[in-house]
Amino acid sequence: MSAATTLSDRVRELLPAIAERAPETERLRRVPEETIAELRSVGYLRAFVPAKYGGLEVSPYELAQATRILAGACTSTAWAAQLLAVHAHPIANFSPRLQEEVWGADPDTLLCSSVAPMGKATQVDGGIRLSGRYSWSSGCEHASWAIVGFKMPGTSGEPEPHFAVVPRDDYRIEDTWHVMGLKGTGSQDLVMEDVFVPDHRVESVIGMNLGMSQGYGTHPAPLFGLPFLPVFSLGFSVVGLGAAEALRDLYQQRLSTRVRAYTGTKVSQSTPALVRLAEATHELRCAARLLEHDWEAMQARAESTEPATWDDLVEWRGNQAYATRLCVRAADRLFEASGGGAVRDESTMQRLWRDIHAGAAHAYSDYDVAAQTVGAHLAGIAPPEGSF
Amino acid sequence: MSAATTLSDRVRELLPAIAERAPETERLRRVPEETIAELRSVGYLRAFVPAKYGGLEVSPYELAQATRILAGACTSTAWAAQLLAVHAHPIANFSPRLQEEVWGADPDTLLCSSVAPMGKATQVDGGIRLSGRYSWSSGCEHASWAIVGFKMPGTSGEPEPHFAVVPRDDYRIEDTWHVMGLKGTGSQDLVMEDVFVPDHRVESVIGMNLGMSQGYGTHPAPLFGLPFLPVFSLGFSVVGLGAAEALRDLYQQRLSTRVRAYTGTKVSQSTPALVRLAEATHELRCAARLLEHDWEAMQARAESTEPATWDDLVEWRGNQAYATRLCVRAADRLFEASGGGAVRDESTMQRLWRDIHAGAAHAYSDYDVAAQTVGAHLAGIAPPEGSF
Amino acid sequence: MSAATTLSDRVRELLPAIAERAPETERLRRVPEETIAELRSVGYLRAFVPAKYGGLEVSPYELAQATRILAGACTSTAWAAQLLAVHAHPIANFSPRLQEEVWGADPDTLLCSSVAPMGKATQVDGGIRLSGRYSWSSGCEHASWAIVGFKMPGTSGEPEPHFAVVPRDDYRIEDTWHVMGLKGTGSQDLVMEDVFVPDHRVESVIGMNLGMSQGYGTHPAPLFGLPFLPVFSLGFSVVGLGAAEALRDLYQQRLSTRVRAYTGTKVSQSTPALVRLAEATHELRCAARLLEHDWEAMQARAESTEPATWDDLVEWRGNQAYATRLCVRAADRLFEASGGGAVRDESTMQRLWRDIHAGAAHAYSDYDVAAQTVGAHLAGIAPPEGSF
Amino acid sequence: MSAATTLSDRVRELLPAIAERAPETERLRRVPEETIAELRSVGYLRAFVPAKYGGLEVSPYELAQATRILAGACTSTAWAAQLLAVHAHPIANFSPRLQEEVWGADPDTLLCSSVAPMGKATQVDGGIRLSGRYSWSSGCEHASWAIVGFKMPGTSGEPEPHFAVVPRDDYRIEDTWHVMGLKGTGSQDLVMEDVFVPDHRVESVIGMNLGMSQGYGTHPAPLFGLPFLPVFSLGFSVVGLGAAEALRDLYQQRLSTRVRAYTGTKVSQSTPALVRLAEATHELRCAARLLEHDWEAMQARAESTEPATWDDLVEWRGNQAYATRLCVRAADRLFEASGGGAVRDESTMQRLWRDIHAGAAHAYSDYDVAAQTVGAHLAGIAPPEGSF
């Protein structure tokens, strides 16, 4: 691949094949191997892998833009693949020993995750013993390691969220992914039973956000100085944006051809249909402007000597959740005016619409929580427990 | 069955079994025979059949209330079954000869429909020859006759919408019902190829709305004096209402038990969750008050010597479409705050939510069209073409 | 006045004069004496006075309907006058001695109120001593007594809200009513300085809601068995409804004549203008259906031996606040599309719109509070403190 | 004034005095002379005057930012003043002879406008004779010339909108500005009776948008190469944004101190109040991102050799109208939850809220029209007549 092309340019060439494979992806309930191979071939899955291991170290902006167009072709693929790609960012902040274990032999090694602190951990000599059922692990069938969450006492002595990185042999995958949207992400359950995880594979989430992890500073690229959370969550909003933009484009194309069943009138002569197109376009433009601005701000933070502040984290998180809400609103506005034909399985509109809703159901995109966090922060009072 | 019980009372006893069969109904993509047999046994399917043929002649109010609770148990079943039941109303206004053909031998005979004027008709001696592909014919696999739409010159000389009633032998059913919601309605395509339909099986839609059809006045019950349209469309809004009320009840139940995955906080202590419950409840209460009022008004019209006016038709139609919109808003408000668990196939919430959206996609519930019709009527100008 | 006419019939005849006086009412910042005299002459101000004192004892439904049309003519007048009328309801549940003091000499005596517990009371022998500044006392310039709120230990020993009834000589009115809407209500401040209020003029609010006040059962009319709160709050929502319906009617009338300044196109040919009219009409119809239903339910409760339940109070209160919100939404929807001409002082639209917003700012109509109360009640958990 | 300071820096120093004068500005119903003198002193009113006449030729971005903060201090002042400032842009594209008449003797000369084509013009030798009543001429009492609209046959032979520039002696001002918001803008009527306007003071609006006016190219600054419309309309949206941001700041400040009258609970502990603050902040952030992006795009167009396209004009216009709608939504969201105190005249919140609504009532900000234009443009069909 040429250095002159952007990641988006290279991903764009894959889109026709990936779009054609979208129904099969839903049927398989996971991303097809073929698609993984293609995304690997253009470097998408190594976007955030350190250069030391042959990665691209692109900016959050560049990965986001590539993910945006990928989501329009197959939202499930984009959801799972961006997580597989993004997970390189936290790993580059784990201990050098773990990094070597993961990438030393094969820089194409992929990791899945399930980061809510659902596991039970016991501290033992040299590490922890961990048990738990970890749901929603998108793309896990392509991964050799899993990043999973649990709580144990941190520097404060209080239970704090931590991550453990666990090799594929130490957990089993249970096939539970039967859902109404994002069917192709293969977001299965990972089951761990009393697994030993040595200390060099464990980090505190707070440490990952504050630059205090074992591997912090391992790599010179500015990317790796960014806190865990905004990078990890980068994809949730942009996948929704890309899918909603694709839905909008389909609506726009149909407008010139669709005829109402009962009346025979052309929908393009229907003022409400035009108003919906405009309003959805404005909503998506707002979402895009919010996100693009923040991707640039992240990069500026990465390149500056001033680390991201708490203000930044609250603002970015709130904007991501609000952008997702705007995408849902736009998608509903268009889909509900697309007529009975749009509910048929062969309609790409209904697939995109289901996927947008399933993605927005992710806890991170819950605007009820994000709005309380943002509002409390602005009002100068403590946010509700567990906002981050 | 006891005369003292209402239709709703008798339907209520069927609900546990029908609710349990809901997943199977989706899988079959049609209402199971067993369910049809049960609904027949309590008289639901004969609700609008004339007493002369052993029917119940219940009020629109009573059928609507029974349909409302049925929709909460299995929305697909309610959608298809209410149409099978409601079709008796127009048939009772067709020629006595047709009525005898339909019900003479078996008062339990069911009819499906596809009323958009999609067919091509040629007038021939003693009737018409009709060809066409008729989509969205809910419940057709249980029906022995079909009511289908087409246009031919009416009394004005201009092409006007008409209905033809066609026996099962004269059309074939094509299995095309692969959709994202209301999967169990079996709303297949009916294909007719140059079918002869004699005059006594043909009526003008305008005549059906103005009391000018061949069979008008055949039966003394006030029900049959009501115009075609508001009775035919009775179910679309009430199915949505019943489904949304069931979704609200599930949300309410979950509120006391659900815990957020990342934070461990109880959702019942979440103010936004309570506000959503209240707001959805108010939206559904508005929908219920609008519809209940109109069902009473229809009955009052049926029992009076003053026929329903154009004002009535516009108001009822607009209210039905607006009530459907309120149900969609309420369903979205609750579903989008129900977390990731609600997207799983085993969650009844996602099924209800998909069904509500699929039902609202019906052309009759298109609020963009209804609002233009209502607005134009109020402003004293001609409504957009094809509003009714 | 004829017994055969309803209160609404008689009020309707006053409307042209009251509407013409609306600008003067704003300028005066109080309801003109002339209007008070007219409303007295048709019995409006005695609607809830006990028959024993020459009152009409009409139903909440009848007073609400009369208030609804009054609000369309002059919203300020309706707001103040309905409160002056409604205050007879709590007074009829105070001690017979107070009732005699108020109405014995003159059944046309009016009372104003300011019921938030803003005063400071000290219990003394035979009563209390009360000081405080009471704001928002609509219509106070026409009243001879004031009902005001304060807290003192109740039967539970905890501070509970109470009401004191204070004669005009014991407080002064301060002219503070300079506002952006409902300018003509004269909702001035009442200032009390160490006023003695004897026990027979004091009641607990809880007692007034539970039928445990000194005068409970004094009068046989069912009306007086209703709890304080839903009757007292009756007018806040219906004034908003009547004003919003009047705004809608003006919008509808303008639709046929208004021409856009820049384009010269007729607004009636503008689809969005028609859609706005329809949507506002549906919102107001929902508000009306909710309120009318509850007025009937109140009357049914009054006439039954079953007192209103906590469920009733929560539902009625929530519906009133939601109806007010619907009226605000409808008013905004129409006003924001009424063009620059509607912002001019001579436009009745802007006056109605300001009045609707000012009315909705009343604490009782705060949907944020009402929704939490309703949601918590439905979820079976304690409502937020101070919901009632 | 120092070259190193921005216009915003210099305007910021004036804000305390201008904010204090806001009530007086409402009372006077025009911007006080003192304020005009201050704005002149910092160069605000010469922001778009050509350098040849001593003007600053700042970018649209810089004028917009200065206007944004000015609107927060006194919205009426910002509305009128930005128009007085912006009018220099079209004048710099009129004939050099007119420019010399306007600025030759005094570069501080101000112009007002009323651009809807309301006048009647007759073509006569060397010019036109013009009569008409021109409403909404903000700031006219400070202006020596007026730019007014009328229609006459253009190059196509069809009636097209044109502008005439008329000196103060040729029209009279009628005091008609009695309104519910933006009271201090002095947007009076200009009355012209058979005024002769020579050709060098007349331009076609289409020519002003396409770089075909008599004075196009007179000045080297890129600013003057921008089409008329997006520059002229620059202020309508940014005034609303600045006012809404000020309202949001007031709401945020009150949150920590406000206590509910009936319940005594602190509003800052009210989750809905925090959610409203967050949601309004997100709405305003979207509006800001949309507008800032377009101000930069305008500047980029000005500095490039590619003129603005039709796509640009549609997008900018649509974004401005949508941003205004977002500001109205945010203002309503906050104001309706600000309690009864916010309706009092002494509350800055109610003034800002009235001003935001009055500003949004300007024809240019009518989203119903803008959305149809944008929707039609996206769908590839002709926009409704008179969209621009």
Please tell me the predicted confidence (pLDDT) of residue C1. 46
Whether B290 and chain C come into contact, CB under 8 Å, resolves to yes
Which residues in chain A have Cβ-Cβ distances shorter than 8 Å to B366?
337, 339
CA–CA dist B272, B252 (Å, integer)? 13
pLDDT at B297 over 90: yes
User: Which of the 8 DSSP states describes residue B308?
Assistant: P
| Residue C358 to residue D346, Cβ atoms within 8 A | no
| Residue D363 to residue C336, Cβ atoms within 8 A | no
Contacts of C17 (CB under 8 A, 6+ apart): C34, C35, C38
A residues 3-32 lying closer than 8 A (beta carbon) to C: none
Instruction: Tell me which residue has tokens 């009128």.
Output: D80
Rounded to 5 degrees, what are φ and ψ at C39? Answer: -65, -35
| D325-349 per-residue burial string, b: 16 or more CB within 10 A, e: under 16 | bbbbbbbbbbbbbbbbbbbbeebbb
Q: What is the pLDDT of residues D298-350, one digit of tens each?
A: 999 999 988 889 999 999 999 999 999 999 999 999 999 999 899 999 999 99
Whether B271 and chain D come into contact, CB under 8 Å, resolves to yes
Spatial CA neighbour of A221 closest among A355, A78, A386, A52: A52
pLDDT at C281 over 60: yes
Q: What is the mean pLDDT of the segment spanning C177-197?
A: 98
Are the C-beta atoms of B146 and B190 separated by less than 8 Å? yes
Counting one residue from chain A and one from chain D, the pairs whose CB atoms sit within 8 A come to: 100
CA–CA dist C138, C110 (Å, integer)? 12
Task: Tell me the nearest-neighbour CA distance from C383 into chain B, angstroms.
Answer: 10
pLDDT at B262 over 70: no
Q: Which whole-number Å values give the CA distances from C317 to B269, C215, C229, D337, in the listed order? A: 22, 25, 9, 18
Rounded to 5 degrees, what are φ and ψ at D278? Answer: -65, -45
CA–CA dist C196, B206 (Å, integer)? 76
Mapping DSSP to helix (H, G, I), strand (E, B) and coil, where does residue A113 land? strand
Strands of C172-174's sheet, edge to edge?
C172-174, C188-198, C127-137, C111-124, C145-153, C159-167, C202-204
CA–CA dist D64, D363 (Å, integer)? 20
CA–CA dist C97, C214 (Å, integer)? 10
CA–CA dist A120, A186 (Å, integer)? 24
Please tell me the predicted confidence (pLDDT) of residue B265. 64
Are the C-beta atoms of B376 and B383 separated by less than 8 Å? yes
Strands of B188-198's sheet, edge to edge?
B172-174, B188-198, B127-137, B111-124, B145-153, B159-167, B202-204
Whether A348 and chain B come into contact, CB under 8 Å, resolves to no
Q: Which residues sit opposite D133 in a β-bridge?
A: D191
Amino acid in the structure at residue A24: E
Helix (H) or strand (E) holding D370: helix D367-379
Amino acid in the structure at residue C193: E
Candidates C262, C340, C387; nearest CB to D361: C340
What percent of chain D clears pLDDT 90, i.e. is strictly above it?
88
Average per-residue pLDDT in chain D? 94
Q: What is the mean pLDDT of the segment spanning B341-345?
A: 95
pLDDT confidence of A322, banded at 50, 70, 90?
A: very high
Q: What is the mean pLDDT of the segment spanning D54-59?
A: 97
pLDDT at C386 over 60: no
User: Which of the 8 DSSP states describes residue B167?
Assistant: E
Indicate the Cα dihedral angle B51, B55, B56, B59, nearest 10°.
-90
Spatial CA neighbour of A112 closest among A132, A84, A134: A84
Are the C-beta atoms of B260 and B254 separated by less than 8 Å? no
Which residues in chain B have Cβ-Cβ distances shorter than 8 Å to D267?
none
**Which tokens belong to A323?**
């952008």
Which residues in chain D have Cβ-Cβ distances shorter than 8 Å to C375?
none
Indicate the Cα dihedral angle C221, C227, C228, C232, nearest 10°.
-80
Average per-residue pLDDT in chain B? 94
| Residue C318 to residue B277, Cβ atoms within 8 A | no
- Regarding beta strands A111-124 and A145-153, do their DSSP bridges make them parallel or antiparallel, or are they unpaired? parallel
Rounded to 5 degrees, what are φ and ψ at B258? Answer: -70, 140
Are the C-beta atoms of A110 and A144 separated by less than 8 Å? yes
pLDDT at D48 over 50: yes
Are the C-beta atoms of C330 and C157 separated by less than 8 Å? no
pLDDT confidence of A381, banded at 50, 70, 90?
A: confident
Q: What is the pLDDT of residues B4-18, one digit of tens each?
A: 799 999 999 999 999
Instruction: Tell me which residue has tokens 């606040």.
Output: C321
pLDDT at B259 over 70: no
Which residues in chain B have Cβ-Cβ distances shorter than 8 Å to C326?
286
**Which tokens belong to B336?**
């989008």
Candidates D271, D285, D379; nearest CB to A274: D379
Please tell me the predicted confidence (pLDDT) of residue B261. 60
Please tell me the predicted confidence (pLDDT) of residue A156. 80
Please tell me the predicted confidence (pLDDT) of residue D1. 46
User: What domains, with CATH codes, occur in chain B?
Assistant: 7-91 (1.10.540.10), 109-204 (2.40.110.10), 233-379 (1.20.140.10)
CA–CA dist C351, C362 (Å, integer)? 17
Whether B257 and chain D come into contact, CB under 8 Å, resolves to no
Longest dimension (CA), chain B: 75
Please tell me the predicted confidence (pLDDT) of residue C385. 56
Indicate the Cα dihedral angle B340, B344, B347, B350, nearest 10°.
80
Residue in chain B nearest A134 by alpha carbon: B261
Mutate to test the interface with D, among C118, C158, C233, C262 (most CBs of D within 10 A): C262
Q: Which whole-number Å values give the CA distances from A299 to A45, A362, A377, B114, in the listed order? A: 20, 25, 23, 57
Task: Tell me the nearest-neighbour CA distance from C369 into chain B, angstroms.
Answer: 9
Please tell me the predicted confidence (pLDDT) of residue B99. 98
CA–CA dist B183, B177 (Å, integer)? 7
Counting one residue from chain B and one from chain D, the pairs whose CB atoms sit within 8 A come to: 6
| Residue C277 to residue B375, Cβ atoms within 8 A | yes
Rounded to 5 degrees, what are φ and ψ at A149? Answer: -100, 150
| Residue B117 to residue A262, Cβ atoms within 8 A | yes
ipTM of predicted assembly, 2 dp? 0.94
Are the C-beta atoms of C98 and C122 separated by less than 8 Å? no
Which residues in chain C have Cβ-Cβ distances shorter than 8 Å to A271?
271-272
What percent of chain B clears pLDDT 90, i.e. is strictly above it?
88
| Residue A380 to residue D256, Cβ atoms within 8 A | yes
Q: What is the pLDDT of residues C101-131, one digit of tens each?
A: 999 999 999 999 999 999 999 999 999 999 9
Mapping DSSP to helix (H, G, I), strand (E, B) and coil, where does residue B148 land? strand
pLDDT at A1 over 50: no
Please tell me the predicted confidence (pLDDT) of residue B1. 46
| Residue D290 to residue A289, Cβ atoms within 8 A | yes
Which residues in chain B have Cβ-Cβ distances shorter than 8 Å to A361?
336, 338-340, 342-343
pLDDT at A267 over 70: no
pLDDT confidence of A388, banded at 50, 70, 90?
A: low
Q: What is the mean pLDDT of the segment spanning A291-303?
A: 96
Q: What is the pLDDT of residues A10-24, one digit of tens each?
A: 999 999 999 999 999
Cα R_g (chain B), whole angstroms: 21
Whether D343 and chain B come into contact, CB under 8 Å, resolves to no
CA–CA dist B99, B103 (Å, integer)? 6
pLDDT at D257 over 80: no
Task: Tell me the nearest-neighbour CA distance from A166 into chain B, angstroms.
Answer: 20
pLDDT confidence of C290, banded at 50, 70, 90?
A: very high
Amino acid in the structure at residue B105: A
- Regarding beta strands D111-124 and C202-204, do their DSSP bridges make them parallel or antiparallel, or are they unpaired? unpaired
Alpha helical stretches, state H, chain B: 7-20, 22-28, 33-41, 60-73, 75-86, 88-91, 96-103, 205-210, 228-232, 234-255, 271-303, 310-335, 348-360, 367-379
Please tell me the predicted confidence (pLDDT) of residue C133. 98
Please tell me the predicted confidence (pLDDT) of residue D255. 87
CA–CA dist C276, C272 (Å, integer)? 6
Question: Cα B95 to chain center, whole Å?
Answer: 24
Counting one residue from chain A and one from chain B, the pairs whose CB atoms sit within 8 A come to: 117
Mutate to test the interface with C, among B319, B378, B381 (most CBs of C within 10 A): B378
Q: Is A116 left (phi over 0), alpha (psi -120 to 50) or beta?
A: beta
Please tell me the predicted confidence (pLDDT) of residue C284. 98
Q: What is the mean pLDDT of the segment spanning D250-254?
A: 94
Q: What is the pLDDT of residues C213-263, one digit of tens each?
A: 999 999 999 999 999 999 999 999 999 999 999 999 999 999 877 665 666
What percent of chain B clears pLDDT 70, i.e. is strictly above it?
95
Whether D319 and chain A come into contact, CB under 8 Å, resolves to yes
Are the C-beta atoms of D352 and D248 separated by less than 8 Å? no
CA–CA dist A382, B15 (Å, integer)? 48
**Which tokens belong to C342?**
């509607």
pLDDT confidence of A257, banded at 50, 70, 90?
A: confident
Q: What is the mean pLDDT of the segment spanning D71-77?
A: 98
Whether B361 and chain A come into contact, CB under 8 Å, resolves to yes
Whether C174 and chain D come into contact, CB under 8 Å, resolves to no
Please tell me the predicted confidence (pLDDT) of residue D114. 97
pLDDT confidence of B385, banded at 50, 70, 90?
A: low
Alpha helical stretches, state H, A74-120: 75-86, 88-91, 96-103
Alpha helical stretches, state H, A304-366: 310-335, 348-360
Residue in chain C nearest D273 by alpha carbon: C368
Contacts of B122 (CB under 8 A, 6+ apart): B128, B129, B130
Spatial CA neighbour of A371 closest among A323, A324, A330, A322: A322
Whether A360 and chain B come into contact, CB under 8 Å, resolves to yes
